[in-house]
Amino acid sequence: MDIIDLTIKAYFPLLLVSDKSKGPLTGDKFRHMQRNMLKRALLGTTGGAAAFLGACLYKQDEWTYANVLMPVVQIALDGEDAHRWGVWAASKNLFPKCNFTPTRSLMETKVWDLTFPNPLGMAAGFDKDGEGVEGIARLGFGFVEVGSVTPLPQPGNARPRVFRLYEDKAVINRYGFNSAGHEKVLQNVSEYIDKKRETPCILGINLGKNKTSSSAVDDYSKGVNTFFDVADYLVVNVSSPNTPGLRNLQARKELSELISGVTKARDLKCKDGSRCTPLLLKIAPDLTEEDKLDIADVVLVHKVDGLIVANTTVSRPDSLLSSNKNETGGLSGAPLKNLSTTVIRDMYKLTNGKIPIIGVGGVSNGADALEKIKAGASLVQVYSALTYQGPPLAKKILQELEELLKRIECKNVSELIGIDVEL
């Protein structure tokens, strides 16, 4: 008995197929037909599987990406190579366009005189040099944040510098602000803005400082001057754990001096009667209660337009299972979710809800996004979950978030900002 016989015996029970012209197909006649059908099926398995997989990927089937494609990518490529290929694919518009359109009245969000088509954005760190903004926007994101961008090109830290924590749905990175520099990134985003955009979205530019720079104020001010006219909002990133001394800029005195200098540079670029590009501050999740209070005071005094809460954490929860858990760098993904939500809630309360917050850290579904909005976030960003769920992530989160809003008969997502926080 060959493999065809065994397969027929296991999977094809004796059937009676009636054909008026030829009579009933039984015995050897039926068996011959069975064998021919199965042979054709087996010979076509590879091509059929490839065609089926291609159709699933094109249709943005979430299960196929999360359980087939992304695990294959993780086996075939290390974290940084997969990241580089992802940016390249975005730059060539190779990702299929999101086939879900959020309900405008329900999901449209207005912050800083900007109208976001939906509250979900791609966090800084994925497209560091502004190469794939259009391709990322096509995935369904309401806004894309490029960076961090340093004034001069710098390579960042030595490889390996990206580590997946599979069991924890997390990532540790120690990139160290690898950047093509202001000039190249300006060229990239200007090309995106100048061409006819198929998928317009809000563009943020996240600013960093060079590792060897002696003046943080000068570096961030250069960023403001360079990107003021092309960015919808600008971010002062003082919270990466991978640039020596950077997080020290979150201390009250240092932060006050930095923000004072950078806001002056921004204000000088503002023209009478025209809109000033909003200036945001991105902070760490690893803050003491005193740190949070100091930051809240500084952003209120200097009228910072917004906060991004939070960057990666240097803490390592006891719950981590991966063998990579002790790698040096910032931890992002699922283990950061509760910590970042706590800091969002604290900063919303300390600023009395006056400073719009972009919440980021551990968001992988619609419920996670809604949790951060209720804690005080006006907008939400994702990144690490993309490593495990792939390009349909934005579509999935938006669909789930919209369904949750409809379930509670919410008229617009903005109604829920900070409702879990007692001011």
Tell me how far apart the alpha carbons of residues 386 and 249 are, in angstroms, rounded to a whole number.
30
Residue with structure tokens 């979900």?
Answer: 120
Q: In the numeric block, which tokens belong to residue 243?
A: 């640039």
Active site residue 18: no
Tell me how far apart the alpha carbons of residues 274 and 269 are, in angstroms, rounded to a whole number.
10
Tell me how far apart the alpha carbons of residues 338 and 171 are, in angstroms, rounded to a whole number.
16
Tell me how far apart the alpha carbons of residues 49 and 59 are, in angstroms, rounded to a whole number.
15
Residue with structure tokens 């490529």?
Answer: 77
Degrees (nearest 5) of the Cα angle 152, 156, 162?
Answer: 145
* Cβ atoms of residues 326 and 316 within 8 Å: yes
SS3 readout for 329-384: CEEEEHHHHHHHHHHHHHHHHHCCCCCCEEEECCCCCHHHHHHHHHCCEEEEEECH
* Cβ atoms of residues 227 and 146 within 8 Å: no
Residue tagged active-site, from 179, 239, 240, 340 = 240
CA distances from 266 to 10, 115, 130, 159, 207 (A): 73, 21, 21, 36, 13
* Cβ atoms of residues 327 and 284 within 8 Å: no
- Residue 392 gets which letter from DSSP? T
Q: What are the strands, taking DSSP E only, across 160-222?
A: 162-165, 170-173, 202-207
Residues contacting residue 6 through CB under 8 Å, at least 6 positions apart:
none
The number of CA neighbours under 13 Å toward the Cβ of 30 is: 14
Tell me how far apart the alpha carbons of residues 56 and 294 are, in angstroms, rounded to a whole number.
50
> Which amino acid, one-letter code, is at 222?
K
* Cβ atoms of residues 92 and 398 within 8 Å: no
As annotated, the active-site residues are 240
